[in-house]
Structures are given as C-alpha cells and as structure tokens.
Amino acid sequence: MLRSPLMNVMVNAVLKAGKGLKRDFGEVENLQVSAKGPGDFVSIADKKAERVLHQELDKARPGYGFVMEEGGVIEGSDKTHRWHIDPLDGTTNFLHGLPFFSTSVALERDGVLVAGVVYNPATEDLFVAERGAGAFHNDRRIRVSGRRLMAEALVCAAVMQIGRGNHATNLADVGAVMARVAGVRHMGSVALELAYVAAGRFDGLVERWLSSWDIAAGIVLVREAGGFVSDPRGGDTMLASGDVVAGNEAIHKGILTTLAKA
C-alpha cells in the first residue's frame, strides 16, 4: 500500500517504540524468578516507549497536542490537532509474558479522529487506517466480518479487574451478551481487540471505563474497515465516556439492543 506522509510518520514512530518494547519483552521471562518481580521493569519500559513516541511525533509534527497515558495532556500551539497515544496497551499481559499487547497512536483533527495505528511488537502485526483510505493489516486491506446473526458471533467483552469500573454493570453486560452469542473473549489489550474487529477476527466488542488513548486508534480502524463504533447508547461519546461498542452493522446493532434490555 502507498502510505501518506502522515501515516509514514505514525508508523515510523510506533515501529521505533515497538523495537524497544520487543527487546524488553524478551527480558520479562528472565525477571519472573526475581524476588521483586518484573513490575518496575515493565513500568520503565512503558514510560520509555511513550518518550520515544512523544519525541518522534513532536519532531515530525511540531505544535500538535498530546493525550498520553503516562504524560497526561500536553497542549500544543496547534489547537486543531492532537495525538492520543498508548505506549503499552496490555501491561498485565506483558508482565506475564503473554504476547498480546500493543502500541497505539491516533490523530484527532478538529475533534474528529482521522488516523490510527495499532502495532503488536511481539508478533509484528501492524494495523493502520486513515479516514477515507481504508484499513490495512500488514499492507493487506481488511474488512469487518460478514456474520449477521448474534448466535453465530464471537464477541469481545472485558471482565474488569478489582478497583476498576462498576462490577455489577460489567457482569450484567457480559452475562447479557454471553446469553446471545457463540462465544465471548477478553484478550487484555482493547486496542488490539478493536483491530481484530476491523480484521473480522471478532464480530463485535463491548467494553467500558477506558481512556481515549486505549480506543482512539481502534475506532478509526473499525470504521475504515466498514464497521460501526458507538457508545452503549448508540451515541458518539466514546472518547469522553470511555465506553465503546463496535462491530459490523448487524452485530453492533445486536449488542446495543442486548445492552439496552440488560
């Protein structure tokens, strides 16, 4: 595929950050036996990757603002553009040596998400999308799945950890969806999960209590792959509320209907 200058900037940044994460991921298994454990090491790896992303993107597009997991919000001189970046989505997986984690970058222009990149350094899976130009996995065009029936759908639904979100709502969501679909999965990196929806590997997704950097890139991917993304009420508050429902037209609608009844 022929990438735009913007997409080249984003891809180069995630690949550079991912190179360090892949190297660090190789060290995690060796640290599992230490008394202190790999927690501090992973935190350092996370911050190091974010620093690389910030430096690379700021150098290529000076003045753009940033919304970052570790560094918070940085206002830029250009008020029309800001990056949403997550250096390591799937920290718990990374910590346990599971190769399902990602680096994600999205660009917001005048309040509209216009480009997204999600990269898994462990597997070198690269998902990219730019508004109006389609979505791609390792340079191959991707589309959301064609399944129409909820009973045949494989849906991603998160089971939240202690201290995060409302567990009663979470269990109600998961229970309602489980009763209607062929299977429910939770992989631990919502950026990659949304990329999998875009690629048709998951038919749909419902997750809550997220941050903009978790989902911004994935939203662009799903939409450019022909899918639908909204909040659980069918609105467009995902970045503000942190609640997201995604899928092809039929499964997205089926999940919304299921949640409304739950």
Sheet with 244-247, strands from edge to edge, namely 183-185, 154-157, 204-207, 244-247, 228-230
Look up residue 108 and give its two tokens.
């917001």
pLDDT (tens digit, 9 = 90+) per residue, 127-177?
999 999 999 999 999 999 999 999 999 999 988 776 677 778 888 899 999
Token output for 74: 């940085």
CA 61 to chain centre: 22
State percent of the chain over pLDDT 70.
Answer: 95
Q: Place 31 in a pLDDT band, splitting at 50, 70 and 90.
A: low
The secondary structure of 130-173 as a DSSP string is ETTTEEEETTEE--------GGG-EEEE--PPTTSS-HHHHHHH
Whether the per-residue pLDDT at 196 is higher than 50: the answer is: yes
Nearest to 128 by CA among 259, 257, 12, 44: 12
Residue 179 pLDDT > 50: yes
- Over residues 209-219, the pLDDT tens digits come to 999 999 999 99
Question: Predicted confidence band at 202 (pLDDT cuts at 50, 70, 90)?
Answer: very high
The residue ranges of every structural domain in the chain are 5-141, 150-261
pLDDT for 35 equals 44
Please name the amino acid found at residue 157: A
Mean pLDDT of the chain: 93
Instruction: Tell me the Ramachandran region of residue 181: left when phi exceeds 0, alpha when psi lies from -120 to 50, beta otherwise.
Output: beta
Mean pLDDT calculated for residue range 14-38: 77
- Shortest CA distance to 169 belongs to which of 232, 217, 122, 97? 232
- CATH code of the domain occupying 150-261: 3.40.190.80
Q: Would the CA dihedral through 191, 189, 199, 173 be positive or negative? A: negative
CATH class of this structure's domain 5-141: alpha beta
Note the pLDDT tens digit of each residue in 52-96.
Answer: 999 999 999 999 999 998 889 999 999 999 999 999 999 989 988
